[in-house]
Amino acid sequence: MARTASGPDPVGCGAGYTLCPGLTLRFPIVQAALGRCDGPALAAAVSRAGGLGCLTIHEADTTGLRARIQRIRHRTSRPVLAAFTAPFERSVVVDAAFAAGIRHFQVFWWNGPHLAPQIRSLGGTVFWQVGTVDQVQDAHHTGADVYIAPGRDAGGQVRTPHSIPELIATIRTVAGPEATIVAGGGLSTRADVAQVLAEGATAALLGTRFLLSEEARAPERDKARLLRADADDLALDLRIIGDWPCVPRRRLLTATGADRPSLFAGKGIDHMGRIPSAAQIVRELAPVSRPPLIR
């Protein structure tokens, strides 16, 4: 059993949900890329609890990146996903992430063609976010290992007009019945997770639920505002500003017009209830039918 600065890692990988070779989760829960609102503490806590945590990477500084990954390693030896959300990353950044122990990388249609060959040549796996049939075809032809499919009810950047079942059906049609799919957008409860698995996903993707966790890097006042909000308080902001590539963002409507990532939220906002630890969230979302193994 791996030992970390925070004690033994409680997750074994003998049973569970296999996303790709070398990555079996105890619970079918994947934390979505949250840009500046995720970070080592959140990614590590989700992975340590048996899901898959995610660290957004958009930096040129490999020293800072190594330090952030090291902060994850102090907390868990379990895998985390690194999401490249910028236009593209320099190859030294990919090399640095790999050298620091990251093996699973999320890309998009704009940077996947550039990054996927390097990730593969290093021996890493490619999680490819898709929202349209063209993007699914590109991902399939380039050899995606896992498809990330946030539907139109997602929080933050909304990059598809399609519902979760429509996206899953498109991926199955293009990539075949064996394709591994992580789907979400608007999920917040165990019933939501069960539903998305019943629709054919291997695991569920959740962003807003993990934004409202103790570990997420958002101001506590913004978390509290979102906790009080419901889906009617959200709007799909069509203004094209400050993002790559520029797309609509679902966020909280505020009296002052405040527009910051820590106020992004998906339609599942109605059922958040409170701001627990990420580990509690993973436990509360996990299917009850497969009791976890601990070793």
Ligand X SMILES: Cc1cc2nc3c(=O)[nH]c(=O)nc-3n(C[C@H](O)[C@H](O)[C@H](O)COP(=O)(O)O)c2cc1C
* Chain residues that interact with ligand X, rule: CB under 6 A: 32-35, 37, 56, 85, 150, 154-157, 184-187, 205-208, 211, 261, 264-266, 268
Closest CA to 158 of 245, 56, 253, 39: 245
> How many CB atoms within 10 Å of residue 259?
16
For the CB of residue 187, give the shortest distance to ligand X in the complex, in Å.
Answer: 6
In angstroms, the CA 3 to CA 96 distance is: 23
Could you tell me the maximum CA-CA distance found in the chain, to the nearest angstrom?
51
Nearer to ligand X, 48 or 223 (CB): 223
Q: Report which of 202, 105, 117, 106 is spatially closest to residue 159, judged by C-alpha positions.
A: 106
The minimum distance between CB 64 and ligand X, in angstroms, equals 17
Nearest distance from residue 36's CB to ligand X, in Å? 7
* Nearest distance from C-beta of residue 59 to ligand X, angstroms: 13
Is the Cβ of residue 45 or residue 206 nearer to ligand X in the bound state?
A: 206
Output 180 or 188, the one with its CB closest to ligand X. Answer: 188
Closer to ligand X by Cβ: residue 35 or 124: 35
For 97, the token pair is 């992430």
Write down the least CB distance from residue 251 to ligand X, Å.
Answer: 8
* Nearer CB in complex with ligand X: 34/179: 34
The strand pairing partners of 180, in sequence order, are 146
CB of 256 to ligand X, least distance (A): 18
The answer for 215, left when phi > 0, alpha when psi is -120 to 50, beta otherwise, is alpha
Distance in angstroms (rounded) separating the CA atoms of residues 186 and 206 = 8
In the complex, the smallest distance separating the C-beta of residue 79 from ligand X, rounded to whole angstroms, is: 18
Going 93 to 98 to 101 to 107, the CA torsion angle's sign is positive
Q: Nearest distance from residue 14's CB to ligand X, in Å? A: 29
Q: Is there a contact between 186 and 154 (Cβ–Cβ < 8 Å)?
A: yes
What type of residue is 255? A
Nearer to ligand X, 32 or 181 (CB): 32
Is the Cβ of residue 128 or residue 264 nearer to ligand X in the bound state? 264
Nearer to ligand X, 85 or 202 (CB): 85
